[in-house]
């Protein structure tokens, strides 16, 4: 059952081939066994899941079910879940039982989805390898010596190992697309504002966006339809209707204009990855799409720009973790200053502290203009580059990450080399555009993703473009042999 896609499981439930309780219980058994080697989950909510599954079965029996009622999923541990630990991968929140549900969680619950647990992640979503989690590194199911990517590495590994058919994620600079690429699955980050940030613990508020990992684009369309929607509690939530993403999946690729940014195929891209991406583009040409070379002149500066804006916002967003109202409080407190300093220094890991330091520096008196304002101006230029490009093309394609999954520990001593994992993804967050990564092939046995970037609010087209590729190829059907 675990190899079935989300849509297949939904159909099976609707057709009463199996009950949600049977499905949930079977996936939980497998998950509990496999998680010990993958470390993809921080919390497994067996009891809650079985309760939800039984309720789903009742709904299906009484005819009150929605199309996805009873399907098990996992939530990234960045989404607040009422009554369940929400750690954000940090010691700071190791004992944090959220008193409320995130909007995404409410929406999933309303759709009758069954939550099996909360997935591991880089601490406060700061990382590209899932090595910064307080709960330890997540392993890539394709090679346990490799990282799954980050920050949503637990969700990506869980879907890749077929522990769950879908898992939510968040993407601030590539945190859905890069792990999707490294784990050989489908991941979508919609337009900024499409999914409410209410209850999604903030890393960098102007960049963070929720999304989802699935086996394929069709499942992503179904999940995004559940997760997206206007929310009055988030001032940056988009007040526009959510289209039926599944309805346009089969639109033809004939005449589709694909832009290939020349900057995405130059320095920094590994040859094996380039070859896979080029082959995928050829496949689109076969499907009738037209390929044009475009330029995104400021691409190379997206990551330096990102590494000012994201840390600046995070330095402020993480000030609330002060040991006063919730979360970790140091035992070593003698006065107010030591309460703050020791709780924060003991509660946060090295990468989080590093980014808080960078961000604090970039915002401090005398440096604000040189770093923060400069980065905001660069952000405008990077965004304008995309605006120009989308006057010529319907979708932009390129590599998701510069290389397949790298070895655990390979980049931990060199922050800049780690930051460059987001070389092709960060710009999309700066502009607020939707992006996807889909499995496009393999390099030395490790999956390689193709990145699709759409214009604002154009998720339906991205899903359609991804789906058409998956109709013609079967990379998305491959799973690591150890988890087949």
Partner 1 sequence: MEWEVVIGLETHAQLSTKSKIFSGAATAYGAAPNSQACLVDLGFPGQLPVLNKEAVRMAVKFGLAIGAEIGMRSVFARKNYFYPDLPKGYQISQFELPIVGKGEINVVQEDASTKTVGITRAHLEEDAGKSMHEGFAAHSGIDLNRAGTPLIEIVTEPDMRSAKEAIAYAKKLHGLLIYLEICDGNMQEGSFRCDANVSLRPKGQEEFGTRAEIKNINSFRFMEKAINFEIERQQEILEDGGVIVQETRLYDSDKDETRSMRSKEEANDYRYFPDPDLLPVELEESFVEGVRKTLPELPDVKRQRFVDEFALSDYDATILTDSRPLADYYEAVVAVCKEPKLAANWVMGDFSASLNKDDKDLADSPVNAEMLGGMLIRIKDNTISGKIAKTVFEAMWAGEGDVDTIVEAKGLKQVTDAGAIEALVDEVIANNAGQVEAYKGGKEQLFGFFVGQVMKASKGKANPAMVNELLKKRLA
Partner 2 sequence: MSIEDSDIKKIAHLARISIAEEDIPGYATELTNIMAWVEQMNAVDTDHIEPMAHPLHAVQRLRDDVVSEPDLREAAQAIAPETEAGLYLVPKVIE
For residue 219, which of 469, 474, 9 has the smallest C-alpha distance? 9
Binding-residue pattern over the window 86 to 105 for partner 1, x denoting contact by CB under 8 A: x-x----x--x-xxx-x---
Counting Cβ atoms within 10 Å, is residue 282 exposed (0-12), middle (13-18) or buried (19+)?
Answer: exposed
* Interface with partner 1 (CB under 8 A), residue from 25, 26, 236, 338: 236
Instruction: Give yes or no for residue 406 binding partner 1 (CB under 8 A).
Output: no
Q: Is the Cα torsion angle 148, 152, 154, 157 positive or negative in sign?
A: negative
Closest CB 139 distance from partner 1, rounded Å:
27
368 binds, among partner 2, partner 1, none (CB under 5 to 8 A by kind): partner 1
Closest CB 43 distance from partner 1, rounded Å:
16
Instruction: Give yes or no for residue 389 binding partner 2 (CB under 8 A).
Output: no
Residue 151 a catalytic site member: yes
Contact status, residue 186 vs residue 428, Cβ threshold 8 Å? no
For residue 4, which of 164, 229, 187 has the smallest C-alpha distance? 164
Residue 175 a catalytic site member: yes
Question: Quick one: 315 or 400, whose CB is closer to partner 1?
Answer: 315
CA distances from 256 to 208, 305, 355, 384 (A): 29, 31, 40, 22
Closest CB 170 distance from partner 1, rounded Å:
11
Chain mean position to CA 50: 26
Distance in angstroms (rounded) separating the CA atoms of residues 474 and 346:
47
* Interface with partner 2 (CB under 8 A), residue from 34, 379, 461, 476: 379
* Interface with partner 1 (CB under 8 A), residue from 111, 138, 146, 200: 200
Catalytic residue among 175, 299, 403, 421: 175
Question: Quick one: 8 or 234, whose CB is closer to partner 1?
Answer: 234
* Interface with partner 2 (CB under 8 A), residue from 25, 51, 109, 206: 206
Instruction: Give yes or no for residue 109 binding partner 1 (CB under 8 A).
Output: no
Instruction: Give yes or no for residue 234 binding partner 1 (CB under 8 A).
Output: yes
For residue 464, which of 398, 394, 411 has the smallest C-alpha distance? 394
Question: Quick one: 282 or 320, whose CB is closer to partner 1?
Answer: 320
Distance in angstroms (rounded) separating the CA atoms of residues 194 and 211:
9
Q: What are phi and psi of 351, to 5 degrees?
A: -70, -40
Region from 15-23, 32-40, 67-75, 229-237 binding partner 1, contact rule CB under 8 A: 229-237
Write down how long the chain is: 484
197 binds, among partner 1, partner 2, none (CB under 5 to 8 A by kind): partner 1
Question: Quick one: 250 or 319, whose CB is closer to partner 1?
Answer: 319
Instruction: Give yes or no for residue 326 binding partner 2 (CB under 8 A).
Output: yes
Residue 205 a catalytic site member: no
DSSP state at residue 398: E
> How many CB atoms lie under 10 A from the CB of residue 267?
8
- Strand pairing of 257-261 and 395-399? parallel
Contact status, residue 178 vs residue 306, Cβ threshold 8 Å? no
For residue 100, which of 118, 115, 120, 79 has the smallest C-alpha distance? 79
Question: Quick one: 50 or 333, whose CB is closer to partner 1?
Answer: 333
Q: Is the Cα torsion angle 88, 93, 95, 99 positive or negative in sign?
A: negative
Q: What are phi and psi of 157, to 5 degrees?
A: -65, -40
55 binds, among partner 2, partner 1, none (CB under 5 to 8 A by kind): none
Catalytic residue among 5, 20, 90, 151: 151
Catalytic residue among 19, 34, 76, 155: 76
How many residues interact with partner 1 (rule CB under 8 A)? 44
For residue 327, which of 39, 42, 99, 45 has the smallest C-alpha distance? 99
> How many CB atoms lie under 10 A from the CB of residue 304?
15
Contact status, residue 480 vs residue 141, Cβ threshold 8 Å? yes
Instruction: Give yes or no for residue 472 binding partner 2 (CB under 8 A).
Output: no
DSSP state at residue 445: T
Instruction: Give yes or no for residue 313 binding partner 1 (CB under 8 A).
Output: yes
Closest CB 353 distance from partner 2, rounded Å:
5
- N- to C-terminal Cα distance for the chain? 11
Determine the angle formed by the axes of helices 153-160 and 20-38, rounding to 10 degrees: 120
Question: Quick one: 55 or 341, whose CB is closer to partner 2?
Answer: 341
Closest CB 305 distance from partner 2, rounded Å:
6
Contact status, residue 147 vs residue 406, Cβ threshold 8 Å? yes
* Interface with partner 2 (CB under 8 A), residue from 348, 390, 469, 483: 348
Instruction: Give yes or no for residue 283 binding partner 1 (CB under 8 A).
Output: no
Residues recognised as catalytic: 76, 151, 175
Residues that bind partner 1 (CB under 8 A): 79-80, 86, 88, 93, 96, 98-100, 102, 197-202, 204-206, 232-236, 312-313, 315-316, 318-322, 324-326, 336, 340, 360, 363-365, 368, 372
Residues that bind partner 2 (CB under 8 A): 95-97, 99, 192-193, 206-207, 232, 235-236, 238-239, 298, 300-301, 304-305, 307-308, 315, 319, 322-327, 329, 333-342, 344-345, 348, 353-354, 356-358, 360-361, 364, 371, 373-381, 383, 415-416, 429-433
């Amino acid at each position: 059952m675990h190899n079935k896609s989300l849509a297949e499981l939904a159909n099976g439930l609707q057709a009463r081939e199996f009950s949600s309780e049977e499905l949930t219980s079977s996936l939980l058994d497998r998950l509990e066994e496999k998680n010990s080697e993958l470390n993809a989950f921080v919390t497994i909510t067996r009891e809650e899941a079985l309760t939800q599954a039984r309720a789903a079965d009742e709904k299906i029996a009484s005819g009150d079910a929605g199309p996805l009622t009873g399907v098990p999923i996992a939530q990234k541990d960045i989404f607040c879940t009422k009554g369940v630990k929400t750690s954000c991968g940090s010691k700071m929140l190791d004992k944090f039982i959220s008193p409320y549900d995130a909007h995404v969680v409410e929406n999933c619950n309303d759709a009758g989805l069954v939550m099996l647990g909360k997935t591991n992640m880089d601490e406060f979503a700061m990382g590209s390898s899932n090595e910064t989690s307080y709960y330890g590194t997540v392993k890539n199911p394709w090679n346990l010596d490799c990282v799954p990517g980050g920050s949503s590495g637990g969700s990506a590994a869980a879907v890749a190992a077929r522990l769950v058919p879908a898992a939510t994620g968040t993407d601030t600079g590539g945190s859905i697309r890069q792990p999707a690429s490294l784990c050989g699955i489908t991941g979508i980050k919609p337009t900024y504002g499409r999914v409410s940030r209410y209850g999604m613990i903030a890393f960098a508020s102007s960049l963070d966006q929720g999304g989802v990992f699935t086996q394929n684009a069709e499942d992503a369309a179904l999940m995004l339809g559940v997760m997206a929607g206007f929310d009055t509690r988030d001032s940056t939530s988009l007040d526009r209707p959510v289209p039926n993403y599944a309805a346009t999946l089969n639109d033809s690729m004939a005449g589709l204009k694909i832009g290939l940014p020349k900057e995405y195929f130059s320095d920094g891209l590994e040859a094996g990855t380039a070859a896979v991406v080029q082959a995928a583009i050829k496949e689109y040409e076969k499907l009738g799409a037209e390929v044009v070379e475009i330029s995104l002149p400021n691409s190379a500066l997206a990551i330096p720009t990102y590494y000012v804006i994201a840390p600046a916002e995070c330095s402020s967003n993480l000030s609330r973790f002060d040991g006063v109202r919730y979360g970790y409080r140091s035992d070593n407190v003698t006065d107010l200053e030591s309460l703050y300093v020791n709780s924060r220094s003991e509660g946060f890991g090295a990468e989080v502290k590093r980014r808080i330091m960078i961000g604090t520096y970039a915002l401090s008196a005398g440096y604000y203009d040189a770093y923060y304002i400069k980065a905001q101006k660069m952000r405008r230029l990077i965004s304008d580059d995309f605006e120009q490009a989308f006057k010529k093309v319907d979708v932009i394609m390129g590599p998701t990450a510069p290389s397949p999954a790298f070895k655990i520990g390979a980049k931990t001593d060199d922050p800049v080399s780690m930051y460059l994992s987001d070389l092709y993804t960060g710009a999309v967050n700066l502009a607020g555009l939707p992006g996807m990564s889909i499995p496009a092939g393999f390099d030395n046995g490790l999956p390689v993703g193709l990145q699709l970037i759409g214009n604002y609010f154009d998720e339906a087209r991205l899903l359609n473009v991804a789906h058409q590729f998956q109709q013609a190829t079967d990379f998305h059907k491959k799973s690591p042999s150890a988890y087949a």
